[in-house]
Amino acid sequence: MNTLDQLKQFTTVVADTGDFNAMRAYAPRDATTNPSLILKAVQQDAYKPLFSETVAKHRGQSTGSIADQVLVRFGLEILKIVPGRVSTEVDARLSFDSKATIAKAHELIALYQAAGVSRDRVLIKIAATWEGIVAATVLEKEGIHCNLTLLFSPIQAAACAEGNITLISPFVGRIMDWYKKRDGKDFTAEDDPGVQSVRAIYAYYKNHGYKTQVMGASFRNVGEILALAGCDLLTISPDLLNQLQSMNEPVVRKLIPVEKAAIAPLRLDVTEPAFRYAFNADAMATEKLAEGIRAFAVDTEKLEALIAL
């Protein structure tokens, strides 16, 4: 078996792209999207007709509403390819408003359901701010499953687990980027700070019996991916999926669920004051979350600008 097929024995492989034509070759179970990936896709010749058709069909609605229609249209096309779920992201500009995030999630789920798609096949993707985690906790109680993204710290992961969130997406590559810039050095897969972060979160979850799943995301190279073989899920870009499919390197499972340790790590305090203090104390997480929200917001605005043309 090639390396990708071997990886699938230990980990659920997810395609991280808005290019649904590119994912057919890799047979992922699920797919994740974000505003940046959708913006990139709609500017490709292959997707311009789909984009134009969706915009024309809903002309007269607000640009924000049409943008949601575009996101869902891509999600619907993706669900024709993958047997599992698609993650569709809430507007990043709502990242600090729990009520607005809940309302937007309801709107997105309603669009999918109107198209005949069960909510079980959709993950609502929300930035892992305090407000986002609060919103996702409410949505999960309603049976709307969530994927908490832009996750960089143990305290974010702990709060998501306590909220019974379905899935978290710790950003491996962006964590490594921060430390590489700070320290001026390259990292091997084993000492990669992003890899170490996901391993620590995985161990914390398994030790405490949390049901929330861990999906490593934002990879820079195949070394990071293989260092997390065995993680619940890994969402991978088409370029890296292609590399893995072209390789025959043996895959060794690195993350293994174990029985509760004799001395388990203490549960983190995830009350709001404790969360905010712990998160503020983590310079990397604070900077990368803010940067990620800004970038997604900018690309959402660019998508809306294309819609308004």
Q: Choosing from 40, 48, 80, 125, which is the catalytic residue?
A: 125
In three-state secondary structure terms, 292 is helix
Contact in structure between 288 and 179 (CB atoms under 8 Å): no
Contact in structure between 106 and 86 (CB atoms under 8 Å): no
* Per-position b or e across 286-301, b if 16+ CB within 10 A of its CB: eebbeebbeebbebbb
Contact in structure between 81 and 96 (CB atoms under 8 Å): no
* Per-position b or e across 253-277, b if 16+ CB within 10 A of its CB: ebbeeeeeeeeeeeebebeeeebee
Active site residue 125: yes
Burial of 102 (0-12, 13-18, 19+ CB in 10 A): buried
Residue 292: alpha-carbon gap to chain centroid: 12
Just list the catalytic residues: 125
